[in-house]
Amino acid sequence: MSDTTLTTLRIPSTVDPVAITGPSDALLRLIEASFAARITVRGDIIAIEGDPIETASLTTLFDDLIERARSGDAADAQELKRILETLRSDDLSPRHLREDVLLSHKGRAIRPKTAGQKHYVDAIRSNTITFGLGPAGTGKTYLAMAMALAALERGEQSRLILSRPIVEAGENLGFLPGTLTEKVDPYIRPLYDALFDMMDAERAGSLIDAGIIEIAPLAFMRGRTLNDSFIILDEAQNATSEQMKMFLTRLGFGSKMIVTGDASQTDLPRGAEGLAQACMVLDGLDDIAFCRFSGKDVVRNSLVAAIVAAYDERVG
């Protein structure tokens, strides 16, 4: 019989044990289903007995759950599943995610929530150009925006440029009513939504008016050299090969670029996708990182992850 280890933890008096075990022990049952070790919770004492490696992992897990509850950010079932997935990663612990705060707004911390997201933000820190590739709900654009605003606050770059390709779906922009700004606004509105979620609307508006933050269609990038800027291209699966090359060559001195997209959601005809071509052409170049997300990184409603998995399995 292999050696076993017994570890005990005490839940602080300021933390409700239900925040750790869940209503009717629902969270505790999720944890028990993922480990062979024996877990006993009596009052404020957690006893863990089993394989030394599992015991160490469970100690890390409960330490994290206690710290989350202590800070008023107790995990729910969906968050716990992400934490358990992180524990299966060889080089990360839940503490690595909790302590990596990218940006804080109105008392809410924005941080990576999965191993894939953590690798993504680390890649952005370490590389000049980073591609975030994968399905909806994985935080590709949201985390890129948080990193960009944090860099702006620290003075690492002096401008933030947010762009999207505009792909007309059955209607020609020239025939739509309104000014050019009014015509393109629906296409880039999601970028405004993410920005206003991380910054007061008044401050964001003043930065936009001053040209420090610019939100524009991809076509408006032509002919420019973007120095000292943090540049994000969102929905890049809708950029043609020519547009993608044009965008990437706008890179100036002291700038960073992030390109996000989901190749399975392109609105372009087959063979015109610039994102897929860029990934093939640039693969292996120094200072360019490719981060590929999966359904495990989806942080929206858990049903979104199930939908992504179903499409991957049945459609490909």
pLDDT, average across residues 125-151: 93
pLDDT tens for 79-105 read 888 788 777 665 666 677 777 888 888
| Predicted local confidence at residue 316, as pLDDT | 59
pLDDT, average across residues 5-28: 90
Q: What is the mean pLDDT of the chain?
A: 84
pLDDT, average across residues 183-190: 70
276 and 144 in contact (C-beta within 8 Å)? Answer: no
Domains of the chain, each with CATH number or no CATH? 5-98 (3.30.1370.10), 106-314 (3.40.50.300)
pLDDT beyond 90 at 150: yes
pLDDT tens for 163-182 read 988 865 444 445 455 555 55
| Predicted local confidence at residue 33, as pLDDT | 87
Q: Which of 38-47, 108-117, 210-219 has the lowest mean pLDDT?
A: 108-117
pLDDT tens for 207-253 read 999 999 998 889 889 899 999 999 999 999 999 999 999 999 999 99
| Predicted local confidence at residue 107, as pLDDT | 73
Q: Which of 10-14, 21-25, 111-115, 187-191 has the lowest mean pLDDT?
A: 187-191
pLDDT tens for 250-281 read 999 999 999 999 988 888 877 668 999 999 99
| Predicted local confidence at residue 82, as pLDDT | 78
Phi, psi of 232 (to 5 degrees): -120, 125
pLDDT band at 128 (very low <50, low <70, confident <90, very high): very high
